[in-house]
A and B are shown apart, each in its own frame.
Chain A
Amino acid sequence: MKNQLSNRYIILISRFVLGIIFIIASADKIAHPELFALSISGYKLLPVYLVNISALVLPWLEMITGIFLVGGIFVKSSSVIIAFLLTVFIGAISLAMIQKLEIDCGCFGAGKGPQVGWLRIIEDFGMLFLSGHIYYFSNKPELESKI
């Protein structure tokens, strides 16, 4: 099993799948920051003054880590950031579900995304698995290998 997971083509597939998902997910949010800000405020987690700055930076973080995963740049650290983001998303969706908030999840594009629910959490865990896979079996951080 470990051999299969460490197969470089399997890692390549993981990188492409996760990277492309993140690029697609971020594109609509970048195009409509005001709607994504509404999605974020719907979760009622962040103080009002942090909502806009998150709505601006988060999609670009997703976009850039996605591009890096696909392009093979800073792969290990990109996977760490993505895993962190996914953990935050899982937490946010869980809290929204506990509070029974009927909000759009804002996962794949602002405002028009599906509602928060178990399926979103399962998807995020799937992606979390991919990011873990990439982290463990990808090469060392580039900065380290250059030193």
Chain B
Amino acid sequence: MKVLNRFSPLIKEILIIVSISILVALLFNTFSGKGLPLIRKEMIKVQAPDSVLFSSAPSNIDSALLIQPDSSITKNIQVIAPLHEQALRNPASATNLSDKTSKEYYTVITLSQLQRLLKENRGLLIDARNAEDYMQGHIGNAINIPALEIDNHFSEIVAIPRDTLMLLYCNNADCDLAHLLADFLRDLEFKKIYIYENGWDGWIKAGMPVDNSKGEDR
């Protein structure tokens, strides 16, 4: 008890400081304009099925020829994930989607899917790491949009058609840069965002060819 008495002013002070910090943090978060939701949403990863990725719906087909998706299925569904309209016509995939709209989720692709997409020259490959890492080596044809400097690349990004296949990667699955960039692109209403999660490390591990050119942003 004596010990407690001796320390109680200290504990009171600590409680005061912690309370002030919490109060200031909450106030700042409310009024700063960049506030975070207090409870973070769970991040869900969805593996992109080949059928969605490679379903060949050539863009030059007259859209009037395509059957419109059943509106009873698509109603109330916010399509965040890149889904082909064809896939939306499948009621099962639409049901899956509706469960996920309440949480943040990302569609990930495997190495072989990425390779095939690159080989077929579909999509825009974006390296979300910082410029220094990009200079040291990147996947061929990738452009560099560092996720931490998105603002500097805003004009480039808004010029990209929204239905472009956006293929993102950073270092590895522990790296959040690609997810950060994906969030940003999603806010800009890009429809087809895919993350190659194993990223640069996975690419190197698989012994894939590396582009060491200091390729400027194109």
Contact = CB atoms under 8 A, between A and B. Distances in A.
A76 B13 contact: yes
Interface in B158-217: 171-172, 174-176, 179-180, 201
B148 A111 contact: yes
Contacts of B16: 74, 77
Interface string A20-56: 0000000000101111011001101000111111011
Contact of B10 (A30, A49, A52, A80): A80
B172 A41 contact: no
B18 A56 contact: no
Interface residues of A, number: 43
B21 to A, nearest CB: 4
A95 to B, nearest CB: 13
A102 B174 contact: yes
Contacts of A52: 36-40
Contacts of B38: 52-53, 56
B58 interface: no
B106 to A, nearest CB: 13
B9 A147 contact: yes
A131 interface: no
Contacts of A35: 148, 180
Nearest to A112: B148
A143 B15 CA distance: 12
B172 to A, nearest CB: 7
B37 A103 contact: no
B46 interface: no
Contacts of A37: 36, 40
Interface in A82-141: 101-103, 111-112, 140-141
A141 B10 contact: yes
A17 interface: no
Contacts of B180: 34-35, 38
Interface string B1-33: 000000001101110111011101110110000
A101 B174 contact: yes
Given A37-B40, A52-B39, A78 B17 contact: yes
Contacts of B92: none
A48 B14 contact: no
A44 B22 CA distance: 23
A16 interface: no
B41 to A, nearest CB: 7
B36 A56 contact: yes
B34 interface: yes
16 contacts: A41-B176, A44-B174, A48-B42, A51-B40, A53-B38, A56-B25, A56-B26, A56-B29, A57-B21, A61-B17, A61-B21, A74-B17, A81-B18, A102-B171, A102-B201, A103-B175
Q: 5 shortest A-B CB distances, which residue pairs?
A: A77-B13, A144-B9, A143-B9, A61-B21, A60-B25
Given A56-B28, A102-B174, 14 more contacts: A34-B36, A35-B148, A38-B180, A42-B175, A52-B39, A60-B21, A60-B25, A64-B21, A64-B24, A74-B13, A74-B17, A76-B10, A102-B175, A141-B9
